[in-house]
Structure 1
Amino acid sequence: MPGKKLLMVVGDFGEDAEIMVPFQALQAVGHEVHAVCPEKSEGDSVKTAVHDFRGDQTYLEERGHDFTLNATFDEVDPADYDGLVVPGGRAPEYLRTYDEVLDVVRHFFKAEKPVATTCHGPQILAAADVLEGYEMSSYPAVRAEVEAAGCSWVDGVTTDRNLVTARDWSDNAEWISAFLDVLGTTVEHGEPEVAVGDD
Structure 2
Amino acid sequence: MGKKLLLLAGDYVEDYELMVPFQALQAVGHRVDAVCPGKKAGDFVLTAIHDFEGAQTYSEKPGHRFTLNASFEAVKPQDYDGLVIPGGRAPEYLRTMPGVLPLVQHFSQADKPIAAICHGAQLLAAAGIIRGRKVSAYPACAAEVELAGASYADIPVDQAVTDGKLVTAPAWPAHPAWIAQFLTVLGTKISH
Q: Taking structure 2 as the reference length, what is the TM-score of the superposition? A: 0.97
Q: Secondary structure at the match of 2:63?
A: strand
Q: Secondary structure at the match of 2:33?
A: strand
Give the letter aligned to residue 119 of structure 1: C
- For the pair shown, which has the larger CA radius of gyration, 1 or 2? 1
Q: Does 1:159 align with 2:162?
A: yes
What is the CA deviation profile of residues 90-117 of structure 1, one whole-angstrom value per residue up to 9, with x for unaligned ones? Answer: 1111001013110100000000000000
Cα distance in 1, alignment partners of residues 55 and 120 from structure 2: 22
Cα distance in 2, alignment partners of residues 167 and 122 from structure 1: 9
Count of residues paired in the alignment: 188
Give the letter aligned to residue 136 of structure 1: V
Gaps of 5+ in 2: none
Which residue in the other structure is 1:41 paired with?
40
Which residue in the other structure is 1:178 paired with?
181
Post-superposition offset of 1:41:
0.3
Gaps of 5+ in 1: 190-199
Give the letter aligned to residue 183 of structure 1: L
Moved segments of 4+, more than 2 Å: none
Give the letter aligned to residue 32 of structure 2: V
**Identity across matched positions, percent:** 61
Q: Secondary structure at the match of 1:99?
A: coil
Give the letter aligned to residue 5 of structure 1: K
Which residue in the other structure is 1:79 paired with?
78
Give the letter aligned to residue 173 of structure 2: S
Cα distance in 2, alignment partners of residues 86 and 144 from structure 1: 19
CA RMSD in angstroms, aligned pairs only: 0.6
Which residue in the other structure is 2:138 paired with?
139
Post-superposition offset of 1:155:
2.2
Which residue in the other structure is 1:116 paired with?
115
